Amino acid sequence: MRKRSIVIIALVWMVVLVAGVSSAITMAVCGRMPGNGSGGKEDGRSERYARLEEVRLRMEEQYVEKPDEEALMLGAVRGMLASVEDPYTFYYTREEMDALSRRSLGLYDGVGLLVSADKAGHVRVLRVFAGSPAYEAGVRVGDRITAVNGHPVSGKSQQTLDEAVERMKSSPAQLLKLEILRGEELLTLGMVCSTIQMERVEYRMLENKVGYLAIYEFIGDDVEAFRSGMQALKRQGADKVIIDLRSNPGGMLEDVVQIADSLMGEGMIAYTQDRYGNRSEYFSAASRWDVEIAVLVNGMTASASEILAGALQDTGTAIVVGEQTFGKGVVQTVYTFPEDGAGMQLTTARYYTPSGRSIHGVGIQPDIKVSLDAEHEILSGEADLLSDSQLYAAYEALLKKNK
């Protein structure tokens, strides 16, 4: 794999926040806030920001109760980031940054759900992990979670979604009650939390030398698990593979680049571009897995997942099957504040497929459009050709390629 960067950034890792924890956001994570070298411009800005200090002083001296200074500062910082009205730009407390690091390892205390915000601002269940507390309690894919232990929750912004997810990550053995809208029916489901180890990749052989491999998010051990899964399928005789990215809200960009590199021949995987026109380009090497590929997508396939689907589609490496994807094509940079471990996240660039497509707000159109049967749910560990119309369409498309 080769990467050519025209602009140098202090990147540590690239990621998409996901739900078992969050929603789809491609991010670059940096060690500290950079200086901007703006010189005299800062003098004028300091005069404008004097109003902020004046407000703080009046609150400190005259408010009816003594305000919490830390809360004032946190509110001011979050208000500044919220003013750009970008759901992917916000502030992390130290505790939230710690939780992000823990999630990147695949560990969290909760009930075994992958959730995200849908376009209407609801907290929607993307995946229910088989055998988890949520699975046993009867939570279904597509359910809208409206309250957790009596507290209303929302997916209207990244921050409110994160707050909802945090409420669902209680300590092990604690009872969690979810209020759920299923169609027009309001349900209350109780379940006991446990420490969940999320498996990012699952695979199995189907018929006629067709393998099936699902990637649930691009984070944690996903690259290693992907390689192990592909090797296992090849050992079992697979010469065709269906890669399932449905309801995958994304993950680390570096991870999706490594996975694309093993599937494509030599060529561009994707590039990012900031508002100044600076580009960072990502390439694959010539070597690749010698298999025919189909990729499954749906309306909640987002961000890093769209990078993979778009790269394989543009280069003719795979047939894309399913429904139009989410359309999340912007990149966030996460900066940490070394003084206290807090952080901030800013939208800093857009990403593009090899052909130069920006899919932000548009998504990727599949080569073969197939809607999922209304009664079928996407559950981890399942790959049923009889009940899954999209999976069957991908399977048939691969078989026809060799006729």
Is 169 annotated as catalytic? no
Per-residue tokens: 347: 């939208």
pLDDT at 106: 63
Cα 111 from Cα 128, distance rounded (Å): 9
Taking the chain (403 residues) in runs of 10, the rounded mean pLDDT of each run is 28 29 42 50 75 92 94 94 91 86 69 83 85 90 92 87 82 84 94 80 94 92 94 96 93 92 95 96 92 95 95 97 95 90 93 96 97 67 79 95 69
Of residues 116, 328, 380, 388, which has the active-site annotation?
328
Q: Which of 22, 116, 170, 303 is catalytic?
A: 303
pLDDT of residue 255: 93
Q: Would you give the DSSP letter of residue 34?
A: P
For residue 282, the cross-strand partners are: 3, 270
Q: What is the C-alpha to C-alpha distance for residues 142 and 183, in angstroms, rounded to an integer?
A: 9
Strands 151-152 and 13-16: unpaired
Cβ–Cβ < 8 Å for 97, 14: no
Contacts of 365-368 spanning 24+ positions with Cβ under 8 A: 365/324, 366/297, 366/320, 366/321, 366/322, 366/323, 366/324, 367/313, 367/319, 367/320, 367/321, 368/319, 368/320, 368/321, 368/322, 368/393, 368/394, 368/397
- Of 143, 222, 314, 388, the active-site residue reads 314
CA distance 300 to 294: 18
Of residues 217, 335, 303, the one with CA closest to residue 25: 303
Task: Tell which residue, 63, 143, 159, 72, has the closest CA to residue 111.
Answer: 143
CB 291 within 8 A of CB 11: no
Tell me what pLDDT residue 245 has: 96
Give residue 91's pLDDT.
93
- Specify the pLDDT at position 327: 95
How far is it, in rounded angstroms, from Cα 341 to Cα 352? Answer: 32
Listed residue (103, 81, 160) closest to 343, CA to CA = 81
Cβ neighbors of 182 (< 8 A, separation 6 or more) are 140, 142, 143, 144
Task: With residue 304 as reference, give the H or E element that holds it.
Answer: helix 304-314
Report all structural domains of the chain as residue ranges with CATH numbers, in order of start: 107-197 (2.30.42.10), 201-330+349-401 (3.90.226.10)
303 counts as catalytic: yes
Count Cβ atoms within 10 A of the Cβ of residue 6 and give its class: 0-12 exposed, 13-18 middle, 19 or more buried: exposed
Which of 239, 236, 209, 241 lies closest to 226 in space, CA to CA?
241
Strand pairing category for 144-148 and 175-182: antiparallel
Whole-model pTM: value is: 0.77
- What is residue 310's predicted lDDT score, i.e. its pLDDT? 97
Active-site residue, 46 included = no
